[in-house]
Structure 1
Amino acid sequence: MPAFLETERLVLRPFTEADAEHLLALDNDPDVMRFINGGRPTTLETIRARNLPRLLHVHPCFGTRGYWAAEEKIGGVFLGWFEFRPLADDSPAVVELGYRLHKAAWGNGYATEGARALIHRGFTDLGVERVIANTMAVNAGSRRVMEKAGLSFVRSFTEDWPEAIEGSEHGDVEYELTRAEWEQRGRDK
């Protein structure tokens, strides 16, 4: 399957059913999942029944998917995934940006590189008007990626999650970037 997007060091490609084992390894690293589910393991059955259908979903307003497997351009090592998904299937106006990378990929700039490339593609080719991203308030690493990708803090909020995880008592944060702000800043800066 052809790549959706390539950067200097990354290839973002559509997921396939064959990615189940990659996802299982990613979602079973307690450090990777710390701010998602408190670090609890995920089963292969959950990956196949719940996660893969979400990752394979085609959004009609884009005519493509909203989740992308991330691989190193040289060597093809699976690094994780990026989300750039419209909040409404029938409108590309507002998309959610997200990322989940293997711990070995942290600190190498991959998350920022992929996020910036998706934002550029969204504003230039996909009709996106606003990019949002959310994380736990205590997730300093993810917040830093959002800022480096050009998003700005909008608000703090709390959700009623079915199960509290460490740090959830501090709530969540939302960041955003509009097309107008992106253009005013000189696009990729």
Structure 2
Amino acid sequence: MSDESTRGAPRPAAEGDILAELEAELAQELAEERPPAGGPGYQVAGALVAIVIGAAGMWLANGYGLGAPRAPGPGLWPFIISVGVTGLGVLLLVGGRGLQDTEIFSRSSVLPVAGLVTFVAMAFLMPLIGFEIPSLLLCFVWLRWLGGETWRSSIVISVATVAVFYVLFLYGLRIPLPHLISI
């Protein structure tokens, strides 16, 4: 074909143009769904929540026993993670007041609190009734109600996850978790 026969016909859009249009459309949809900005007060509140959660985690982990570097206790890793959470909360408190990406508290702000409450409930139930039931309930609640998964996928994934962790922790790593079922 010659140049003259294709001059009047519209050229197909380049692949990069199509991707740019899709990205712009997606960004616009996300901006419409996003809650309004919260401002510095919300940054401070979020930082304080992180500091409180981290400090509580350090206190609870210390109660399990930290052990020593060559013989770590059961509370060492939770303690290290809690120190990290507390440190990040302090960094956000000190340097985060000028950030503009904070959202106002909304109904979706309750989801992390619900996740934390169910996780703490699991920690209290595990010594009483074993690893299996609290883990299964935690996984199911997080998938179904916090994650919005279907009933079927929530049940299947919860059972499979607990079975894998059961075998991994009790038989692979030989961690003496309290459990009801012995294989």
Query: Taking structure 1 as the reference length, what is the TM-score of the superposition?
Result: 0.31
Relative to its length, the structure with more strand (as a share) is: 1
Larger relative contact order (Cα-Cα within 8 Å, sequence gap ≥ 6): 2
Q: Normalized per residue, which structure has more helix? A: 2
Larger Rg: 2
- Scaled by the length of structure 2, the TM-score of the pair is 0.32
